[in-house]
């Protein structure tokens, strides 16, 4: 099996493990399992995969044992993007809850929708340029710059679901009920930790803070 195929296979296996863990946790949390819940599973799993893909460089800067996993970045990022597509497609199927386009253009929902669109657009551009046909035809400097936009996509995605879900997180942090946190809070914290480590890495590389 060639390297590309092996990396795809291992990344897909890993992504399905993440999806399965979110499935079990989300079913247990909401005590039901319909399309509405499956949408949440794909959405939260996508955030974790995109975070891992963007974060592997900074994780391995602070934990060099992870350097070996850098080669998985592209495949985890692409799978995360496919999960985002599944999330958006399921939203369109859930016309009763999220009638399109009316639902998305209300005062309370438009901001979250615009952040979702912007994040999806950046992810789409990254998915396109990650293809070897396009990559070979681009200047390496520009190609690397575009791939750095991944962190922007992650931040936009975090704001997108943070706007709506933060009410439930504050509720949970106030009463600690149910005992386990909402799945979206777990995904959010993975994303925030990834952005924080990236900032620390930049500061460390510029000599502003020392590496441990």
Contact 18, 47 (CB under 8 A): no
Contacts of the segment 180-184: beta carbons below 8 A, 24+ positions apart = 180/25, 180/28, 180/29, 182/29, 183/22, 183/25, 183/26, 183/29, 183/40, 183/41, 183/44, 184/40, 184/43, 184/44
Among 7, 114, 117, 159, binds ligand HEM (CB under 6 A): 117
Q: How many CB atoms within 10 Å of residue 141?
A: 7
40 makes contact with ligand HEM (CB under 6 A): yes
Task: Considering only residues 169 through 208, tell me which ones interact with ligand HEM, judged by CB under 6 A.
Answer: 183-184, 187
43 makes contact with ligand HEM (CB under 6 A): yes
Q: Which is nearer to ligand HEM, 164 or 211 (CB)?
A: 164
Instruction: Report, in Å, the least distance between residue 211 CB and ligand HEM.
Output: 29
Among 51, 74, 77, 87, binds ligand HEM (CB under 6 A): 87
**Using CB under 6 A as the criterion, which residues of the chain lie in contact with ligand HEM when the complex forms?**
40, 43-44, 46-47, 50, 84, 87-88, 91, 98, 116-117, 119-120, 157, 160-161, 164-165, 183-184, 187
């Amino acid at each position: 099996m060639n390297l590309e195929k092996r990396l795809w296979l291992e990344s897909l296996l890993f992504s399905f493990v993440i999806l399965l863990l979110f499935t079990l946790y989300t079913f247990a949390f909401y005590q039901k399992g319909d399309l509405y819940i499956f949408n949440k599973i794909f959405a939260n799993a996508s955030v974790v995969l995109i975070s891992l893909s963007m974060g592997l460089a900074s994780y391995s800067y602070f934990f060099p044992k992870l350097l070996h996993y850098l080669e998985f970045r592209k495949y985890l990022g692409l799978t995360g993007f496919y999960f985002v597509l599944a999330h958006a497609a399921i939203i369109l199927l859930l016309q009763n809850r999220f009638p399109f386009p009316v639902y998305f253009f209300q005062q309370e929902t438009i901001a979250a929708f615009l952040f979702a669109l912007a994040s999806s657009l950046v992810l789409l551009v990254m998915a396109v340029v990650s293809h070897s046909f396009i990559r070979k035809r681009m200047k390496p400097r520009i190609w690397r710059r575009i791939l750095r936009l991944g962190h922007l996509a992650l931040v936009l995605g975090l704001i997108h679901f943070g706007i709506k879900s933060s009410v439930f997180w504050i509720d949970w942090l106030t009463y600690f009920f149910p005992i386990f946190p909402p799945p979206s809070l777990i995904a959010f914290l993975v994303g925030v930790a990834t952005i924080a480590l990236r900032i620390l890495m930049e500061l460390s590389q510029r000599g502003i803070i020392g590496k441990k």
